[in-house]
Amino acid sequence: MPEIEISVQRSPGAAHARPRFETHRVALGEKASILDALFTLQRGPCPDLAFRFSCRVGMCGSCAMVVNGREQLTCSTLVKTVGSQLRIEPLRNLPVVRDVAVDLKPFFHGLSPRAAAFHSARRSCMQMTFTDCPTIVPNGRRWTINPSALTAVPASRPVPLVTLNPRYLGPMALHRALNLVVDPRDKARAERLNLVAGETGAFRCHTLGNCRDSCPRGISPTHSMSV
């Protein structure tokens, strides 16, 4: 198996502690992901290395880190597509808990009811997808949804602009709002539009396209915010 060189940021998480980089060489399989490389470090020279992961299929975003200067989902990015030398750092726009693990509370704050109220006004209805069950029965009432009535909206990722303006809701929350606004079953359209049109909403986007460039699936959240 080929060896690669990994420099990973280490920090104790204590106040005012300065981070440092540790460099190690490890052997990996041809189809190893960057997350696999971190597990190899944890099983070997860095048993106390802290990092986040969850689904491991490129959907949840928990394992996002900066790899060679670019935001990546480490579970779905193969080492061979990046190179034989990796420099792994935590995300830049979130506080570091330890090493490359960050505190996700500021990110999820943008999805909270207090910040954006981006929750369905018909929760029982929204628990199912229209593609799986065109006819949905919420609270005893039947709703028949024509798939053409809904706009296809892809998933989105966090954006570096949040670093400059922590109050900015970001593309994830704004994308969630769009999903609900275009759903004919939802009854809070005016409320949501008022929220996304506020000081911290869609008009705060600078259309830099960083969210599009950082998205591992080539999606443009900027387009979703301008719909």
Mean pLDDT of 96-101: 93
Rounded Cα gap, residues 171 and 168, in angstroms? 9
Domains of the chain, earliest start first: 3-102 (3.10.20.30), 107-225 (1.10.1060)
Residues found in the chain: 227
Locate the DSSP E strands across 90-218: 96-98, 101-102, 135-136, 143-144
**CB burial string 176-198: b at 16+ within 10 A, e below:** bbbbbbebebbebeeebeebbee
Residue 174's nearest CA partner among 202, 136, 141, 137 is: 202
Pair of tokens at residue 221: 């959240």
pLDDT digits 0-9 by tens, 46-62: 999 999 999 888 778 88
Residue 110's nearest CA partner among 94, 99, 98 is: 94
pLDDT digits 0-9 by tens, 145-167: 555 554 444 443 444 556 667 67
Q: Which residue has the higher pLDDT, 38 or 196?
A: 38
Q: How many CA atoms lie within 13 A of 35 on its CB side?
A: 19
Pair of tokens at residue 59: 């959907």
Q: Which residue has the higher pLDDT, 89 or 164?
A: 89
| Confidence band, pLDDT 50/70/90 cuts, at residue 114 | very low
pLDDT digits 0-9 by tens, 125-144: 333 333 333 444 445 555 55
